[in-house]
Amino acid sequence: MSHRAEAELGRRASKLGLWPLVMTIFFCVSGGPYGLEPIVQSGRGMALLLILIVPIVWALPVALLSAELGSAIPAEGGYYEWVKRGVGPRAGFWCAWLTYLYSCVDVAIYPRLFVGYLGGLGFAPELSDPVVSAVVRIAMVVPLAWLNVRGAATTGNAALMFALALLAPFLAMIAISIVPAFQHFGPLTAPLTPSGVSATSAFTLGLFVIMWNYLGWDSISTIAREIKDPQRAFPKALMIGLPLVVLFYLLPVFAGLQFVPDISKWTDGSWPAIASAIGGSSLGLLVALGGLLSAAGLFVAGLLAASRIPFVLAEDGYMPPAFTKLHPRYATPARAILVSAVIYVVLSSFSFEQLAEVDVLLYSSALVLEFWALLRLRRTMPDLERPFRIRGGFATVVLLSVLPTILIGAAAFEMVSSSWRETLALFLFAAITGMLLLLWKKKGTHSHRTATAGSMRAARREGNSEQSIVSAIAPTPTDTKSSHRSSTGSAEII
């Protein structure tokens, strides 16, 4: 089918520069240390260990995967195109659909977080009214959705400003804690686990929290054609973003433990209180305000990344063609953006916190398909131009694919054991909705074939000549270009 909308988007849409791209990735993955507080309940030493070790087996492999495939196949849709090219169209569809469903739970949480942080600033009584809460969520989503409609560059610049503002108070916390750090390092990192808790139990307790806070490195690959020089900028942004996220997890937690060593006080939303213990109430207020910016940044980046999935699926016939329509001025998939924003704000009316950890399995399932595509493409397309290439040969690529897969398996086993009903319900919903979209695609293909057959019959009735029949089924110049794009694979985008 024609990919004219994608080509027009790549030609006309505003382009994202390096540092706005870095901070957009930062929000797709992190949004700062907010939400990381419960990991400390697994033990002071265990929390710091998880922050340092898990990125090696979880975040780094995904970042390297994204860097290689993003540089080799810088197509709109990102991981959808990678898996489609490496494994097949059906696998590509499931990768995209599972990830989009994951975003429906993940991104819908952020308006609720915004309301929660606003309540922490003293507005809790007013926000307890469901109507007021809904108005606040809508008031948050509307301008952020409009930023997305204006384009990736505008969205990325907003993410950059949000990140600088929310990280400044944490930099102050880190600076204040430098001297005490040298005095109390040993006591702060011991014991490894809480009293009476085994290392295995403590590790499991913190694992889901840290996996949640380190996923999403592939997310922004979906806007590849809206990035300046994506084959070089995307890998570079990932390599900057990874240590940035690790440092802004590790250092604030380490700083906080010096002043609040009681792990029972490390609960969701406790950063303002921890900051107040370090630098007084003014610093605590700034960190609380940073929570609002974190929720806004997470939403605006999540919407930017996820809204391109309906766009590319519609271009391939899995969704209504209306999603391919571009904004006349900004050349962005405005309908896909606005429909996604509406879905998120409606779902934000419900509490999905209990599904959040289970939801990670949807994303992880799609991630396994991406690693499969990485391995297949190394074998089937060894000569594909890869401006960024994972070093060490095929054996290293296999190892990098196996490490996160083992972690996913361990998380899946634990999740099925503890939350099998939620896990079953979520995957059944994913399977049913996915099959409906596949039927939509099949119906569209059948309609196209029926129309073609009708044209052939009409041609026979009119002239019954071979030339008439050929004219009826011959592709238009546009279709020929589309067919050439599909058959030549990377020719247009590499």
pLDDT at 445 over 70: no
Q: CA 227 to CA 109: how far, in whole Å?
A: 27
Contact residues for 253 (Cβ-Cβ < 8 A; gap 6+): 33, 36, 39, 40, 47, 48, 51
Q: CA 448 to CA 196: how far, in whole Å?
A: 66
CA 118 from chain centre, in angstroms, equals: 25
Q: Which residues pair with 223 in a beta bridge?
A: 76
Contact residues for 280 (Cβ-Cβ < 8 A; gap 6+): none
pLDDT bin (cut points 50, 70, 90) of residue 125 is: confident
Q: CA 212 to CA 37: how far, in whole Å?
A: 13
The pLDDT of residue 238: 97
pLDDT at 215 over 80: yes
3-43 confidence digits (pLDDT tens): 777 777 877 778 999 999 999 999 999 999 998 999 998 88
Which range is least confidently modeled, 146-155, 257-266, 478-487? 478-487
Q: Which residues pair with 208 in a beta bridge?
A: none
SS3 category, 227: strand
CA 86 from chain centre, in angstroms, equals: 20
Contact residues for 311 (Cβ-Cβ < 8 A; gap 6+): 5, 6, 76, 77, 323, 324, 333, 336
pTM value is 0.87
Encoded tokens for 141: 């989503």
pLDDT at 381 over 60: yes
Encoded tokens for 419: 């939350």
Percent pLDDT > 90 in the chain is 64
SS3 category, 30: coil
Judge whether 24 and 304 are in contact, CB under 8 Å: yes
DSSP H helices in 263-348:
271-279, 281-306, 308-315, 334-347
Encoded tokens for 28: 């797709």
The rounded mean pLDDT for the chain is: 85
The helix (H) or strand (E) run that includes residue 74 is none
pLDDT at 83 over 80: yes
CA 6 from chain centre, in angstroms, equals: 20
The pLDDT of residue 356: 66
pLDDT bin (cut points 50, 70, 90) of residue 186 is: low
Contact residues for 218 (Cβ-Cβ < 8 A; gap 6+): 62, 65, 66, 70, 78, 79, 367, 370
The pLDDT of residue 235: 97
Q: CA 480 to CA 4: how far, in whole Å?
A: 12
Indicate if the alpha-carbon torsion angle 118, 121, 124, 126 is positive or negative: negative
Q: List the domain range (segments joined by +) for residue 259.
A: 4-491
189-214 confidence digits (pLDDT tens): 667 778 778 888 888 778 878 888 99
CATH code, domain carrying 465? 1.20.1740.10
SS3 category, 352: coil
478 φψ region: left (φ > 0), alpha (ψ -120 to 50), beta (else) = alpha
| Number of domains the chain is built from | 1
Q: What is the CA radius of gyration of the chain?
A: 24
pLDDT at 480 over 50: no
Q: What angle (nearest 5°) sits at the alpha carbon of residue 357, between those of residues 356 and 360?
A: 95
Q: CA 95 to CA 366: how far, in whole Å?
A: 4
The pLDDT of residue 443: 79
Distances (CA, A) of 123 to 119, 177, 187, 409: 4, 31, 38, 42
Judge whether 315 and 324 are in contact, CB under 8 Å: yes
DSSP secondary structure letter of residue 325: P
Distances (CA, A) of 64 to 22, 86, 210, 388: 15, 17, 19, 9
Other CB atoms within a 10 A radius of the CB of residue 178 amount to 11
382-418 confidence digits (pLDDT tens): 999 999 999 999 999 999 999 999 888 887 777 777 7
Which residue type occupies 423? T
Judge whether 378 and 182 are in contact, CB under 8 Å: no
Give the chain's length.
494
Q: CA 115 to CA 250: how far, in whole Å?
A: 26
Which residue type occupies 51? I
The pLDDT of residue 178: 82
SS3 category, 307: coil
Q: CA 370 to CA 222: how far, in whole Å?
A: 13
Judge whether 269 and 121 are in contact, CB under 8 Å: no
Instruction: Report the interhelical angle of 178-189 vs 152-176 (nearest 10°).
Output: 80
336-380 confidence digits (pLDDT tens): 999 999 999 999 887 765 666 677 888 999 999 999 999 999 999
313-328 confidence digits (pLDDT tens): 999 999 999 999 999 9
Encoded tokens for 487: 């058959």
